[in-house]
Amino acid sequence: MTRVLITSLNYAPEETGIAPYTTKLAEHLASRGYRVTVLAGMPHYPAWRVAGEYAGRKAVVEARNGVEVRRRSHYVPSEQSALKRGLYELTSLRMGLDAMRVPRPDAVIGVVPSLSGGIVARAAAARFRVPYGLIFQDLVGQAAAQSGISGGGRVTGVVRAAEGWSARGAAAVGVIAEGFRPYLESLGVDAARIRRVRNWTHVAAATVDRGAMRRELGWREDAMVCLHAGNMGYKQGLENVIEAARIAQRERRSLEFVLIGDGNQRDALRGLAAAYGLTNLRFLPLQEAARFPSILAAADILLINQRGRVDDMSLPSKLTSYFASGTPVVAAAAAHSETAREISDSSGGLVVCPDDPHALLDALDRVAGDAGLRAYMAESARRWAAETLSEGAALRGYEQILALVLASGSHGRVHTPGRRTAVERDAERVAADAERDDRWAA
């Protein structure tokens, strides 16, 4: 049996961000006959506080859907700064301690971010003398420069050096956006080793009637609801949405804004909205996974907002869920960002200038006032989700990354479900001999 070690700070039961993709990958490999172990941190995203049942625990070992998960505690900052983020990354390296406690894998796969996912992957691979690969869900060095976190620019060089060190030794590197490729090549990663992979739509179809869900949430049937769902952090720059809501209220525009989720900027945003006395904007907490698709489908327009400096550092994971809901998307994002490229390719929404609340409002009014445009974007988004973001196709891409890593090893191994390794065969032979000796002794 082929053994795979995955290093990823984020993992289930986290339901947003990159955790659902890493979790599904691990469970998919387990279902395909791999023996999978995951080294992870304590669940904490997007609330940026450790989930209740894990709080105060130093280490946890658990089995989740055929996957062994080993967790280590780490520092979780309630507010973001370069120093606090550095402590977060540094203490996250603790998950590598469990690499000393697992059987020798045939390959290691690291997931970035966090930066520790890549560093621990390379270190574990060196310890076991096996090949490793990395999957980049975000670019940590670019995030330090572009996210707006206090002091981020001063540590960019150090972060990029660590990111490059972890990536250069990888046998294969998966990127969820083509825009990540130039940055990684600039760090010295062999272009031939970089492969595009896609995330997929991991939410189910809506199960609650649209009208019923709107009534449950207290949304008027005739309201034009503009919904942001997901993390409320620095790179989202949601002050832009708050300002758009303030202008809309002052000018009596018929738009209602809803922000769903959590994050280290949520309280500050709530305070800003209260200071403005906004009655056209509501905050809702994180929603249960079973309700989430129905909430997205109940909205009229789905919002993505990014600071203008956010360029090629990330591709919002929420986009896959947005497209699957069949709801038009309006994004305030840099024109050359990965977010803009994905929305343009899908024809499922509009992209406007970031950091400009008037531009955002104009786009929302345009979509709100054109039923034909909304219908076209909704159908385009559904088609893109079905044809391009299917789970099966995406998981095959991820498994191909693993196949490249396995093939690069000294044994040139290719996984076959149910195939036993030489070590396992030897162990079984020793056990059989011992059993035979016991029978003779009896």
Q: What is the mean pLDDT of residues 41-62?
A: 94
Mean pLDDT computed over 329-354? 92
Q: Would you call 288 exposed, middle or buried from its count of C-beta atoms within 10 A (0-12, 13-18, 19+)?
A: exposed
Query: What pLDDT score does 412 carry?
Result: 57
- Is residue 323 within 8 A of residue 389, CB to CB? The reply is yes
Tokens of 123: 């270190």
- Strand (E) positions, 373-434? none
CA 97 to CA 328: how far, in whole Å? 45
Evaluate if residue 332 carries a pLDDT over 60: yes
Threshold 0.85, pTM exceeds? no
Most confident of the ranges 148-162, 190-204, 226-240, 271-285 = 271-285
**CATH fold of 3-200+390-430:** Rossmann fold (3.40.50)
What is the percent of the chain where pLDDT is above 70?
Answer: 89
Q: Residue 416 has what pLDDT?
A: 59
pLDDT given at position 423: 45
The answer, yes or no, to whether residue 433 has pLDDT greater than 60, is: no
Kindly report, as residue ranges, where domains of CATH 3.40.50.2000 are found in the chain: 3-200+390-430, 210-387
Question: What CA–CA distance (Å, rounded) separates 13 from 229?
Answer: 18
Place 404 in a pLDDT band, splitting at 50, 70 and 90: very high
Total Cβ atoms within 10 A of residue 79: 13
Structurally, at CATH architecture level, domain 210-387 sits in 3-Layer(aba) Sandwich (3.40)
Neighbouring CB atoms inside 10 A of 46's CB total: 20
Give me the residues paired with residue 320 across strands: none
| Banded model confidence at residue 418, pLDDT cuts 50, 70, 90 | low
> Which one has a higher pLDDT value, 439 or 377?
377
C-alpha 203/C-alpha 296 separation (Å) is 11
Residue 374 CB neighbour total at 10 angstroms: 17
Sheet with 301-305, strands from edge to edge, namely 281-284, 256-260, 225-229, 301-305, 329-332, 349-352
Reported as a single tens digit per residue, the pLDDT across 111-160 is: 998 899 999 999 999 999 999 999 999 888 777 666 556 665 667 888 89
pLDDT of residue 156: 81
Q: What is the dihedral of CA 8, 14, 15, 18, to 10 degrees?
A: -20
Following DSSP, what letter does each residue of 122-179 receive, concatenated? HHHHHHHT--EEEEESB-HHHHHHHS--TTHHHHHHHHHHHHHHHHHT-SEEEESSGG
Higher pLDDT, 68 or 157: 68
What is residue 388's predicted lDDT score, i.e. its pLDDT?
87
Residue 419 has pLDDT above 60, yes or no: no
